[in-house]
Each structure stands twice: as C-alpha cells, then as structure tokens.
A and B are shown apart, each in its own frame.
Chain A
Amino acid sequence: MDKLQVLLALSVALFAVGLLGVIIRRNMLVMLMCMELMLNGVNLSLVTFAHQMGSIEGAVLVFLIFVVATAEIAVAIPVVLLLVRQKHTLDLAAFTSLKG
C-alpha cells in the first residue's frame, strides 16, 4: 500500500466510525462529535485527492470547510444546550415529539 492508499483507508475508517457513532450512540454531544469525525474523514479524502492531482485549490477548500464547520458547531452546541435545559438529559430517547 502506498501512502495515498493508507490515507484514503484512514478517511474511510474515520467516516465509518463517525457514522456508526451517529447511529448507535445516544448521547447527543457524542453524536455531534461523531458527525465531526465523518466530516473530517471526508475532508481527509478531499485533501488526499487534491494532493494526488497536484492542485492547490483542494487544500484551500479544506480550510474553508473548517471555518464553516466551526460556525456550524457553534450553532449546534447551543441547540443541544437548549434541549438539555428542557428535559435535563442528553439522552436522545427523550426527544421524540415528532412521533406520529
């Protein structure tokens, strides 16, 4: 396996771990962290491919994504906090008001 393959395998592993976490874990904060893992797995593959193509734009785009992701998590955490305030728990099972 050359370097690129290792990096791509790592990115797939990060994505898979993140996905698994989102589906299995019940703690909302952990789920948010898993989502970040998935995002960074994709980021890694993006930067890897950019390196392979020898283009600088991919690397620049990754920094852009970091900024947006930071903003996104800055919104998501307060949402979680507000939810916790309501039900005094981080357990997702407590939040099923969309049940038909």
Chain B
Amino acid sequence: MLKLVNIFGYLAVLLSAAILVAQSLLLGGLIFRYWIARPHPEVAADALEHVQALALRWFRAAAISLAIVQALYLYVNSAVLMASADIPFREVIGANFFIAASVMLCAALLTAIVAGNKDKYAAWYLCALVLIVLTASVMTDHAASRVEGRVPLIILTALHEVATGFWIGGLPFLLLGLYVNRERATQWYLTRRFSQVAFAGVIVLVLSGVCMSVAYVGSAHALLGTSYGLMLLAKIAMLAALLALGGINFLMLRKHGPEQVIPRLRRLVEAEFGVGLTVVLSAAAMTSQPPAVDLVNDTVQPSHIWMRYRPQWPRLKSPAASELSTRHPGQIISDQDPTRRTVAYTSEGMPVSLRVLNDMRWSEYNHHWLGLIVLGMGILAVLARTGRARWAEYWPLLMIGIAVFIFLRGDPECWPLGPKSFWATWADPEIFQHRAAALLCVAFAIFELRVRRGPSQDGLLPLIFPVICALGAALLLTHSHGTTNVREETLAELSHTPMAVLGVMAGWSRWLELRLPSQDRGVPSWIWPVCFVLIGAGLLNYREF
C-alpha cells in the first residue's frame, strides 16, 4: 500500500506539472490568437486567418489536455488521501484542492467548447474562463495556504503564472505561426509582436519571482540549505539560459532582417520552449515542497556541506555483496552480530550500523565508477569536437560500460553477485526495470554511434538522444531520494540538482547543434561535451555520509 501511495504521490507531482504546462499553453494560446496574431493592413489577411484558425485549434487541444490531466490529478490525489489518511470520499469532496481542481476541470471543458464555436463574443468568454483556470490554480499554490502576507503573495503568484504563460506558453504558438506560414512578412510580423509580449512577460516574471523568492526563502543561507532553495537555484540557472536564448532572439530581431533571423530563430525558439517546459516542471516540484523560510530546524549548514562534499579521492574499493544490509534467503543475522553495532552517525545524529555503512560505500563506489565512465565520455566528446581525434567519436560505446555496471551491481542480491538465480530475479519488477535499463543503455550506445558515424545527421532520429537526455534530467529535478530525513534529502539533492541542470543544458545544446544552420553550431557543440565532463566530475565527488 505504501509503495502504491508513493507511486501515486509521485504521479500527482507529475500531473500537477502537466497541469501547469497545459495552463501556460492556454494563456499563451489566448494571447497569441487574440493579440499577437491580430489582423494588420501590412500582412495578408488570409495568411493570418490560417494561423489564427490553427492557433485556436491548438488552444482547444490545450484546454482538453488540461481537463484530462486535471481529472487524473483529482483521481490520483483523492486516492492518495483516502489511502494514506483513511478519509472517506464524501469528505475528500469538500477539501479545498478538490473544489479548486473541479472548478478548473469545468472551466477547461467549457473553454474547449467555447473555442469550438464561432461566437462573436468568444474572445471575452475565453478570457473569463482562462481567468477562472488561473484563479483555481493560484488557490492551490503556496500563496493561498500562507497565514501571513497571503493577498500580496496571491497577486504575485498570479502575475508570475500569467507572465510564464504569455512567454513560455506562447512559444509553441509562435513556432506554429513560423512553420505553417512560409511568407516572410507574416513570420516577421508575428515574431516582432511576440517579442514585445515576451519582453514584458520576462520583466513581470523576474520581478514577481524575486519578490516571491524573498518571501519564501527568507535568507541567502536557506538557498543552499534547503531542498526548496536548491530547486530555486536550479530554476534561476535555467532561467538564465532562457534569458540568454531570448536575448539572442531579441537582439537578432533588432539588428538583422527576416531572411537572416527567421531560420535561426525557429531553432532557438524550439530550445527556448524545451528549457521553459523544464522550468515549469521544476516550479511544480517546488509547489509540492515546504518553503525554505518554514524549515527553521532542518536546514543544512555550511559545515554539513563541507563534511559531505569536501574534495576526496573517489572510492574505488567496494565492500563485498555479502557485507550489505540486503537479506539473502535463509540468511540469519543475530542481534549480537558485530556488523549490527553502531559504527557511525548521520548528520542528524542517527546511529548507523556497519552493514548500512557498507550500503553507503557500495552506492558511493557505484556513483564514482559511473562518474569515471561519464567523465571519459565527456573528455572523448570534447576531443572529438576538436576534430583532431576521429577515434574519439566512438565515445557512445562507453555507455555499454554503464550497462554492464548496472547489470552487475544494480541488484547485489541477484546473480551474478547474490544468491538469487538469474531467472528468479525477472519476477521482481524493480530488478526487471534495472535489467531492461541496462539493455536500453546498450541499444542507446549503438544507436547514438550510428548517428555519429552515419552519413548524415539530418532527420528526426538524431533528435531522440537530446530529447531523452533533457527529459531524463527534467525528471531528475523532481525525483526524490527515498529518505524521510529532510537534511539528508537536501544533502543528496546538493549533488543531483546541479547534474540535472547540466543534463538539461546538455540535451538542449545538442538539440541546437543538430538543428541550427551549420555556420551557427559552434557554441552549442561545445556546451554539451563540457556538461558531460562536469556531470562526471560531480558523480566522482558524490557522497552519502
């Protein structure tokens, strides 16, 4: 039951992220359809009408998606509450989140219906409905649950979400306008109008974000000392990347003409939207954590960080599988066994036995060897980028090393290290997942090598690697580390969050390398190999105690 609640709980976080994304698309679609793509005498009316019609169709799809994910969220969150707190369904119905989610669900459905009708007041109805969606969203945010400063925080949150929607949510609609319409005049018109809206959106987003950060984090120390603060730092790092991309677009629009700008801008906007989606995902993860300012007793102190992450030589010697806490069938460990004695203490002062300590050493050894492999991949990728070492192009083969590592050490209780037989282990879903992942690593290595050594890097297949890379990193941002200890959780995130951000950067820079015109690929083609090197270095300094 606990496992089910945990899985459903994580699903609820992902669904709330999907809700935020759909809500942003709704806001972006609204501003694009009724403001950015407004008729203008200098632009051909039929070209613009075509864009408007398609934008409205996408807007409608966003509303339907919002209704679906909201219905799923209602079901999942209600199930979690009923299972974890023994609350009957009739009581769940009256809860604030249930009312807000139901209102948003109804508003989204009505939006989909109204967007399908050609009523002359449709724009006003849609504005009102999207406003209801926004209000329902804000009513389940941190701001609404605060005791002090509630009203200003609600206003700031609403502004933040509107600005996100207009900017990030509007990007796919801009791409739609740029791809369905081949007329440079229309593309130029849409781009320039969008740029004005995005610029205003960025200003509101940053200002409201700064105010909310001050209110929710409270101190500079809490930025590094809490999970909320770390997530905020990750968000700021990704926002900086977004601003860099947006800034390039903004300057290009003002310095060059449509013929130079549009082909580059389309590709940059793709990456901008990808990173923007990750920021929205991390925002959803933040709303499911207590604000840093409330964690007065559980913050990580600089001394904890130094003790955990001071530079140390990687652990290249592992304990034996039999020395771990994993119980083998038939194995009996008596209370008097010396390995059950306390040999260390956690940052919280909790006692740790020798077997648990060995678990940590085992995990560190795994991380450090993986770090070496990833560092190797990064260095080879950098060498390959210099163009002086063609053999270094074979770096994806190192992923096979990762696969072997997962297979051998992912489940120490199983064959070949543990007593469980090879076939018996396939009945365990978790072990099956590890083994399937190892196989996928092999497939991934061969696939990426074919992309690199193949005759052409055009087409959609080469894009799978950067998308999977960026998606995995985004999920890592929302991933918890299975510990109920707040301080230990933060310490674990101190190593994983930077790697997740680097993964996002690696994925989207590789995307840009593949998508940009060949003369513009220089900078992005350096970014992702360097990100790999940094991730490898980060893994090498990973510690659990």
**A and B form one complex:** no
Which residues of A are at the interface with B, using a C-beta cutoff of 8 A? none
